[in-house]
Amino acid sequence: MTKSWKQALSKILQNAQRDFSGGYPHYTDPDTGTWVTLPPEQTGCLQGGKWTHGNWTAGFWPGILWLSYAYTKEEKFRKWALRSIEPLKARVRDNNTHDIGFLFYPSFVLGFELTSDQELKETALLAADILAGRFISEGKYLQAWGPSDDPNLMGSSTIDTMMNIPLLWWAYDQTGNEKYYNIAKVHAKTTLLNMIREDNSSIHLVMYKPESGQLIEEKTFQGYSNSSCWARGHSWAICGFTFAYEHTGDEEFYNAACVLSDYFIERLPNDHIPFWDFDDPAIPRSPKDSSAAAIGAYGMLKLGNLAGEYSAKYAKSAQYILTSLNNNYVDHDNLTEGIVNHGCYSNPHKEGVDSCLIFGDYFYLNALNQESSI
Protein backbone atom coordinates (compact mmCIF):
# COMPACT_ATOMS: atom_id res chain seq x y z
CA MET A 1 0.00 0.00 0.00
CA THR A 2 1.42 3.37 -0.98
CA LYS A 3 1.78 6.10 1.64
CA SER A 4 -0.67 8.32 -0.26
CA TRP A 5 -3.37 5.65 -0.40
CA LYS A 6 -2.81 4.77 3.25
CA GLN A 7 -3.36 8.41 4.22
CA ALA A 8 -6.49 8.61 2.08
CA LEU A 9 -7.97 5.37 3.42
CA SER A 10 -7.74 6.61 6.99
CA LYS A 11 -10.06 9.49 6.04
CA ILE A 12 -12.36 7.30 3.98
CA LEU A 13 -12.77 4.86 6.87
CA GLN A 14 -13.64 7.73 9.22
CA ASN A 15 -16.23 9.08 6.80
CA ALA A 16 -17.74 5.65 6.19
CA GLN A 17 -18.72 5.53 9.87
CA ARG A 18 -20.82 8.67 9.41
CA ASP A 19 -24.50 8.63 8.55
CA PHE A 20 -24.79 10.35 5.17
CA SER A 21 -28.36 9.13 4.69
CA GLY A 22 -29.66 12.70 4.62
CA GLY A 23 -27.24 13.83 1.96
CA TYR A 24 -23.95 13.33 0.15
CA PRO A 25 -20.62 15.05 0.92
CA HIS A 26 -20.18 18.16 -1.21
CA TYR A 27 -17.42 20.38 0.23
CA THR A 28 -16.02 20.86 3.71
CA ASP A 29 -17.01 23.79 5.86
CA PRO A 30 -13.98 26.13 5.88
CA ASP A 31 -14.46 26.80 9.62
CA THR A 32 -15.23 23.33 11.00
CA GLY A 33 -13.68 21.04 8.39
CA THR A 34 -16.81 18.85 8.35
CA TRP A 35 -18.59 17.85 5.17
CA VAL A 36 -21.42 20.06 3.98
CA THR A 37 -23.94 17.66 2.45
CA LEU A 38 -26.66 17.97 -0.17
CA PRO A 39 -29.72 15.72 -0.48
CA PRO A 40 -29.57 13.35 -3.44
CA GLU A 41 -32.84 14.52 -4.99
CA GLN A 42 -31.86 18.18 -5.28
CA THR A 43 -31.64 19.40 -8.87
CA GLY A 44 -30.62 22.72 -10.33
CA CYS A 45 -33.31 25.04 -11.62
CA LEU A 46 -34.13 28.64 -12.35
CA GLN A 47 -35.86 30.34 -9.43
CA GLY A 48 -36.89 33.93 -9.86
CA GLY A 49 -34.45 34.29 -12.71
CA LYS A 50 -31.55 33.04 -10.56
CA TRP A 51 -29.86 29.72 -11.28
CA THR A 52 -29.56 27.43 -8.27
CA HIS A 53 -27.14 24.56 -8.86
CA GLY A 54 -28.23 21.19 -7.62
CA ASN A 55 -26.47 18.15 -6.27
CA TRP A 56 -24.32 17.13 -9.22
CA THR A 57 -21.64 15.73 -6.89
CA ALA A 58 -23.61 12.92 -5.24
CA GLY A 59 -21.91 10.19 -7.28
CA PHE A 60 -18.40 10.90 -6.04
CA TRP A 61 -18.69 9.60 -2.46
CA PRO A 62 -19.89 6.20 -3.76
CA GLY A 63 -17.10 6.44 -6.34
CA ILE A 64 -14.53 6.89 -3.58
CA LEU A 65 -15.90 3.82 -1.79
CA TRP A 66 -15.69 1.79 -5.02
CA LEU A 67 -12.10 2.94 -5.60
CA SER A 68 -11.30 1.91 -2.03
CA TYR A 69 -12.87 -1.50 -2.64
CA ALA A 70 -10.85 -1.91 -5.83
CA TYR A 71 -7.65 -0.96 -4.04
CA THR A 72 -8.07 -2.98 -0.83
CA LYS A 73 -10.39 -5.84 -1.93
CA GLU A 74 -12.02 -5.45 1.49
CA GLU A 75 -15.68 -6.47 1.54
CA LYS A 76 -16.74 -3.66 3.86
CA PHE A 77 -16.07 -1.07 1.14
CA ARG A 78 -18.27 -2.97 -1.31
CA LYS A 79 -21.11 -3.04 1.21
CA TRP A 80 -20.71 0.64 2.03
CA ALA A 81 -20.67 1.53 -1.66
CA LEU A 82 -23.84 -0.43 -2.38
CA ARG A 83 -25.58 1.17 0.56
CA SER A 84 -24.48 4.64 -0.52
CA ILE A 85 -25.91 4.38 -4.05
CA GLU A 86 -29.45 3.44 -2.99
CA PRO A 87 -30.72 7.03 -2.63
CA LEU A 88 -29.23 7.92 -6.03
CA LYS A 89 -31.53 5.57 -7.92
CA ALA A 90 -34.29 8.16 -7.75
CA ARG A 91 -32.18 10.50 -9.89
CA VAL A 92 -31.84 8.12 -12.82
CA ARG A 93 -34.67 9.78 -14.76
CA ASP A 94 -33.61 13.32 -13.89
CA ASN A 95 -33.94 15.26 -17.12
CA ASN A 96 -32.83 18.60 -15.70
CA THR A 97 -29.07 18.34 -16.10
CA HIS A 98 -26.16 16.99 -18.14
CA ASP A 99 -24.53 16.04 -14.83
CA ILE A 100 -26.25 12.67 -15.04
CA GLY A 101 -22.79 11.44 -16.10
CA PHE A 102 -21.12 12.77 -12.96
CA LEU A 103 -23.89 11.20 -10.88
CA PHE A 104 -23.94 7.71 -12.39
CA TYR A 105 -20.46 6.98 -13.75
CA PRO A 106 -18.56 6.95 -10.41
CA SER A 107 -21.43 5.26 -8.58
CA PHE A 108 -23.11 2.74 -10.90
CA VAL A 109 -20.70 2.26 -13.80
CA LEU A 110 -17.68 1.83 -11.55
CA GLY A 111 -19.72 -0.41 -9.27
CA PHE A 112 -20.76 -2.61 -12.19
CA GLU A 113 -17.20 -2.85 -13.48
CA LEU A 114 -16.06 -4.11 -10.07
CA THR A 115 -18.95 -6.44 -9.27
CA SER A 116 -20.65 -7.38 -12.59
CA ASP A 117 -23.95 -6.63 -10.84
CA GLN A 118 -26.51 -6.50 -13.66
CA GLU A 119 -28.85 -4.20 -11.72
CA LEU A 120 -26.10 -1.58 -11.56
CA LYS A 121 -25.52 -1.97 -15.29
CA GLU A 122 -29.21 -1.55 -16.11
CA THR A 123 -29.47 1.58 -13.99
CA ALA A 124 -26.37 3.09 -15.59
CA LEU A 125 -27.69 2.34 -19.08
CA LEU A 126 -30.96 4.05 -18.23
CA ALA A 127 -28.96 7.07 -17.07
CA ALA A 128 -27.08 7.01 -20.38
CA ASP A 129 -30.42 7.08 -22.22
CA ILE A 130 -31.49 10.13 -20.23
CA LEU A 131 -28.22 11.88 -21.06
CA ALA A 132 -28.49 10.94 -24.73
CA GLY A 133 -32.00 12.36 -24.72
CA ARG A 134 -30.52 15.81 -24.09
CA PHE A 135 -28.85 15.81 -27.50
CA ILE A 136 -29.94 18.72 -29.69
CA SER A 137 -29.57 17.08 -33.10
CA GLU A 138 -29.89 20.27 -35.16
CA GLY A 139 -27.28 22.06 -33.08
CA LYS A 140 -25.05 18.98 -32.62
CA TYR A 141 -24.52 19.35 -28.86
CA LEU A 142 -25.82 18.10 -25.52
CA GLN A 143 -27.91 20.61 -23.62
CA ALA A 144 -26.25 21.39 -20.29
CA TRP A 145 -28.91 22.84 -18.05
CA GLY A 146 -32.61 22.71 -17.45
CA PRO A 147 -35.38 20.47 -18.78
CA SER A 148 -34.80 19.47 -22.38
CA ASP A 149 -37.92 21.36 -23.45
CA ASP A 150 -36.99 24.62 -21.69
CA PRO A 151 -36.61 27.21 -24.49
CA ASN A 152 -34.46 29.47 -22.30
CA LEU A 153 -31.89 26.77 -21.58
CA MET A 154 -31.97 24.58 -24.69
CA GLY A 155 -29.00 26.50 -26.08
CA SER A 156 -26.76 25.95 -23.04
CA SER A 157 -23.57 23.93 -23.32
CA THR A 158 -20.61 23.80 -20.95
CA ILE A 159 -17.07 22.48 -21.02
CA ASP A 160 -18.00 20.24 -18.07
CA THR A 161 -20.11 18.07 -20.38
CA MET A 162 -16.91 16.62 -21.83
CA MET A 163 -16.56 14.73 -18.54
CA ASN A 164 -20.18 13.60 -18.52
CA ILE A 165 -20.02 11.88 -21.91
CA PRO A 166 -17.78 9.05 -20.63
CA LEU A 167 -21.13 7.58 -19.55
CA LEU A 168 -22.05 7.44 -23.25
CA TRP A 169 -18.70 5.92 -24.28
CA TRP A 170 -19.26 3.22 -21.65
CA ALA A 171 -22.85 2.58 -22.81
CA TYR A 172 -21.62 2.07 -26.38
CA ASP A 173 -18.96 -0.39 -25.19
CA GLN A 174 -21.61 -2.36 -23.30
CA THR A 175 -24.32 -2.43 -25.94
CA GLY A 176 -22.75 -1.73 -29.32
CA ASN A 177 -25.54 0.81 -29.87
CA GLU A 178 -23.99 3.47 -32.08
CA LYS A 179 -26.44 6.07 -30.80
CA TYR A 180 -24.28 6.57 -27.71
CA TYR A 181 -21.03 6.68 -29.66
CA ASN A 182 -22.30 9.11 -32.27
CA ILE A 183 -23.83 11.54 -29.78
CA ALA A 184 -20.65 11.61 -27.69
CA LYS A 185 -18.41 12.10 -30.71
CA VAL A 186 -20.56 14.77 -32.34
CA HIS A 187 -20.83 16.70 -29.08
CA ALA A 188 -17.05 16.51 -28.62
CA LYS A 189 -16.53 17.82 -32.18
CA THR A 190 -18.89 20.74 -31.54
CA THR A 191 -17.12 21.53 -28.26
CA LEU A 192 -13.75 21.38 -30.01
CA LEU A 193 -14.96 23.84 -32.61
CA ASN A 194 -16.53 26.36 -30.26
CA MET A 195 -15.04 26.12 -26.77
CA ILE A 196 -11.27 26.22 -27.27
CA ARG A 197 -9.88 29.67 -28.04
CA GLU A 198 -7.01 30.41 -30.41
CA ASP A 199 -4.60 30.68 -27.46
CA ASN A 200 -5.75 27.18 -26.33
CA SER A 201 -7.60 28.46 -23.27
CA SER A 202 -11.09 27.07 -22.74
CA ILE A 203 -14.51 28.66 -22.49
CA HIS A 204 -16.75 27.58 -19.64
CA LEU A 205 -20.23 28.15 -21.07
CA VAL A 206 -21.69 28.94 -24.47
CA MET A 207 -25.19 29.56 -25.73
CA TYR A 208 -26.22 28.21 -29.13
CA LYS A 209 -29.21 28.63 -31.35
CA PRO A 210 -30.70 25.14 -30.91
CA GLU A 211 -32.15 25.03 -34.39
CA SER A 212 -28.79 25.63 -36.08
CA GLY A 213 -25.98 25.31 -33.56
CA GLN A 214 -24.94 28.89 -34.28
CA LEU A 215 -22.83 30.26 -31.43
CA ILE A 216 -24.60 33.19 -29.78
CA GLU A 217 -22.59 34.00 -26.66
CA GLU A 218 -19.58 32.98 -24.57
CA LYS A 219 -20.25 33.07 -20.83
CA THR A 220 -19.19 31.67 -17.49
CA PHE A 221 -20.98 30.56 -14.34
CA GLN A 222 -18.06 29.85 -12.03
CA GLY A 223 -15.12 31.58 -13.71
CA TYR A 224 -13.76 35.09 -13.17
CA SER A 225 -15.19 36.55 -16.38
CA ASN A 226 -16.69 35.56 -19.70
CA SER A 227 -13.28 35.93 -21.34
CA SER A 228 -11.18 34.26 -18.62
CA CYS A 229 -10.05 30.64 -18.32
CA TRP A 230 -11.60 28.88 -15.33
CA ALA A 231 -9.04 26.33 -14.13
CA ARG A 232 -11.38 23.50 -13.22
CA GLY A 233 -13.29 23.80 -16.47
CA HIS A 234 -9.99 23.61 -18.31
CA SER A 235 -9.07 20.45 -16.44
CA TRP A 236 -12.46 18.92 -17.34
CA ALA A 237 -11.57 19.61 -20.97
CA ILE A 238 -8.15 17.93 -20.68
CA CYS A 239 -9.75 14.78 -19.28
CA GLY A 240 -12.73 14.87 -21.59
CA PHE A 241 -10.76 15.10 -24.83
CA THR A 242 -8.36 12.43 -23.58
CA PHE A 243 -11.33 10.09 -23.07
CA ALA A 244 -12.66 11.08 -26.50
CA TYR A 245 -9.36 10.15 -28.14
CA GLU A 246 -9.17 6.89 -26.21
CA HIS A 247 -12.60 5.83 -27.44
CA THR A 248 -12.43 7.06 -31.04
CA GLY A 249 -8.75 7.21 -32.05
CA ASP A 250 -9.55 10.60 -33.61
CA GLU A 251 -6.29 12.59 -33.80
CA GLU A 252 -8.19 15.89 -33.45
CA PHE A 253 -9.15 14.88 -29.94
CA TYR A 254 -5.59 13.86 -29.10
CA ASN A 255 -4.26 17.18 -30.38
CA ALA A 256 -6.90 19.04 -28.36
CA ALA A 257 -5.93 17.22 -25.17
CA CYS A 258 -2.27 18.07 -25.86
CA VAL A 259 -2.72 21.80 -26.47
CA LEU A 260 -5.09 22.11 -23.52
CA SER A 261 -2.49 20.38 -21.34
CA ASP A 262 0.23 22.69 -22.66
CA TYR A 263 -1.84 25.73 -21.70
CA PHE A 264 -2.52 24.28 -18.24
CA ILE A 265 1.15 23.51 -17.60
CA GLU A 266 2.37 26.88 -18.84
CA ARG A 267 -0.01 28.76 -16.54
CA LEU A 268 0.84 26.86 -13.35
CA PRO A 269 2.59 28.72 -10.50
CA ASN A 270 5.76 27.45 -8.85
CA ASP A 271 3.99 24.86 -6.69
CA HIS A 272 2.23 23.36 -9.76
CA ILE A 273 -1.27 23.92 -8.29
CA PRO A 274 -3.44 26.35 -10.29
CA PHE A 275 -5.28 29.33 -8.97
CA TRP A 276 -9.04 28.92 -9.33
CA ASP A 277 -9.05 31.00 -12.53
CA PHE A 278 -5.92 31.53 -14.59
CA ASP A 279 -6.91 35.14 -15.29
CA ASP A 280 -8.00 36.38 -11.87
CA PRO A 281 -6.24 39.78 -11.48
CA ALA A 282 -5.92 39.10 -7.72
CA ILE A 283 -3.25 36.43 -8.37
CA PRO A 284 -1.12 35.63 -6.34
CA ARG A 285 -3.58 36.53 -3.55
CA SER A 286 -6.27 34.46 -5.21
CA PRO A 287 -7.62 31.07 -4.02
CA LYS A 288 -5.97 27.92 -5.29
CA ASP A 289 -8.03 25.00 -6.59
CA SER A 290 -6.53 21.66 -5.70
CA SER A 291 -9.44 19.89 -7.41
CA ALA A 292 -8.44 21.42 -10.75
CA ALA A 293 -4.92 20.15 -10.11
CA ALA A 294 -6.14 16.62 -9.33
CA ILE A 295 -8.43 16.49 -12.37
CA GLY A 296 -5.76 17.91 -14.64
CA ALA A 297 -3.15 15.48 -13.31
CA TYR A 298 -5.49 12.55 -13.87
CA GLY A 299 -6.16 13.64 -17.45
CA MET A 300 -2.48 14.16 -18.25
CA LEU A 301 -1.46 10.84 -16.70
CA LYS A 302 -4.13 9.13 -18.76
CA LEU A 303 -2.89 11.02 -21.81
CA GLY A 304 0.61 9.88 -20.91
CA ASN A 305 -0.50 6.26 -21.11
CA LEU A 306 -1.77 6.69 -24.66
CA ALA A 307 0.37 6.52 -27.78
CA GLY A 308 1.73 9.87 -28.84
CA GLU A 309 4.92 11.82 -29.33
CA TYR A 310 4.44 14.01 -26.26
CA SER A 311 2.92 11.49 -23.85
CA ALA A 312 5.94 11.33 -21.51
CA LYS A 313 5.94 15.11 -21.20
CA TYR A 314 2.41 15.18 -19.83
CA ALA A 315 2.95 12.26 -17.50
CA LYS A 316 5.99 14.00 -16.01
CA SER A 317 4.10 17.27 -15.52
CA ALA A 318 1.26 15.39 -13.86
CA GLN A 319 3.68 13.71 -11.49
CA TYR A 320 4.98 17.14 -10.41
CA ILE A 321 1.38 18.13 -9.65
CA LEU A 322 0.74 14.95 -7.67
CA THR A 323 3.94 15.40 -5.68
CA SER A 324 2.87 18.92 -4.74
CA LEU A 325 -0.61 17.73 -3.79
CA ASN A 326 0.84 14.95 -1.64
CA ASN A 327 3.37 17.18 0.10
CA ASN A 328 1.46 20.42 0.52
CA TYR A 329 -2.29 19.92 0.04
CA VAL A 330 -3.24 16.52 1.43
CA ASP A 331 -4.62 16.94 4.96
CA HIS A 332 -1.83 15.23 6.86
CA ASP A 333 -2.84 16.99 10.10
CA ASN A 334 -6.37 15.58 10.09
CA LEU A 335 -7.99 19.02 10.28
CA THR A 336 -10.88 18.19 7.95
CA GLU A 337 -13.01 15.24 6.90
CA GLY A 338 -11.70 15.49 3.35
CA ILE A 339 -8.47 14.26 1.81
CA VAL A 340 -7.15 17.19 -0.24
CA ASN A 341 -7.28 20.73 1.16
CA HIS A 342 -7.46 24.08 -0.63
CA GLY A 343 -10.04 23.34 -3.27
CA CYS A 344 -12.26 26.11 -4.57
CA TYR A 345 -15.83 25.09 -5.34
CA SER A 346 -17.13 28.49 -6.51
CA ASN A 347 -15.27 31.69 -5.82
CA PRO A 348 -17.89 33.96 -7.46
CA HIS A 349 -20.60 32.49 -5.21
CA LYS A 350 -18.32 32.27 -2.15
CA GLU A 351 -19.08 28.59 -1.69
CA GLY A 352 -16.50 26.05 -0.65
CA VAL A 353 -13.58 28.46 -1.06
CA ASP A 354 -10.45 26.93 0.49
CA SER A 355 -12.21 23.63 1.21
CA CYS A 356 -11.90 19.94 0.48
CA LEU A 357 -14.14 19.02 -2.46
CA ILE A 358 -15.59 15.53 -2.80
CA PHE A 359 -14.84 15.38 -6.53
CA GLY A 360 -11.33 16.68 -5.89
CA ASP A 361 -10.77 13.73 -3.57
CA TYR A 362 -12.25 11.31 -6.12
CA PHE A 363 -10.03 12.47 -8.99
CA TYR A 364 -6.99 12.62 -6.73
CA LEU A 365 -7.45 8.89 -6.03
CA ASN A 366 -7.94 8.23 -9.73
CA ALA A 367 -4.72 10.11 -10.44
CA LEU A 368 -2.85 8.01 -7.86
CA ASN A 369 -4.11 4.85 -9.59
CA GLN A 370 -3.25 6.19 -13.03
CA GLU A 371 0.26 7.12 -11.90
CA SER A 372 0.85 3.61 -10.60
CA SER A 373 -0.01 2.17 -14.02
CA ILE A 374 2.72 4.07 -15.88
Note the pLDDT of residue 149. Answer: 86
Question: Which residues in the chain land under pLDDT 50?
Answer: 45-53
Note the pLDDT of residue 46. Answer: 43
Note the pLDDT of residue 39. Answer: 86
- Give the separation between CA 270 and CA 42, rounded to whole angstroms: 39
CA 110 to chain centre: 14
Note the pLDDT of residue 1. Answer: 56
* Candidates 94, 150, 160, 173; catalytic one: 160
Note the pLDDT of residue 53. Answer: 47
* Candidates 19, 29, 31, 99; catalytic one: 99
Note the pLDDT of residue 55. Answer: 85
Note the pLDDT of residue 310. Answer: 67
pLDDT tens by residue, 244-292: 999 999 999 999 999 999 999 999 999 999 999 999 999 999 999 999 9
Note the pLDDT of residue 166. Answer: 98
Task: Assess whether 160 carries a catalytic annotation.
Answer: yes
Task: Assess whether 99 carries a catalytic annotation.
Answer: yes
pLDDT tens by residue, 148-157: 888 999 999 9
Note the pLDDT of residue 306. Answer: 85
Note the pLDDT of residue 270. Answer: 97
Note the pLDDT of residue 51. Answer: 42
Note the pLDDT of residue 50. Answer: 41
Q: What is the pTM of this model?
A: 0.96
Note the pLDDT of residue 148. Answer: 85
Note the pLDDT of residue 42. Answer: 57
Note the pLDDT of residue 228. Answer: 98
**b/e map 157-186, b = 16+ CB within 10 Å:** bbbbbbbbbbbbbbbbeeeeeeebbebbbb
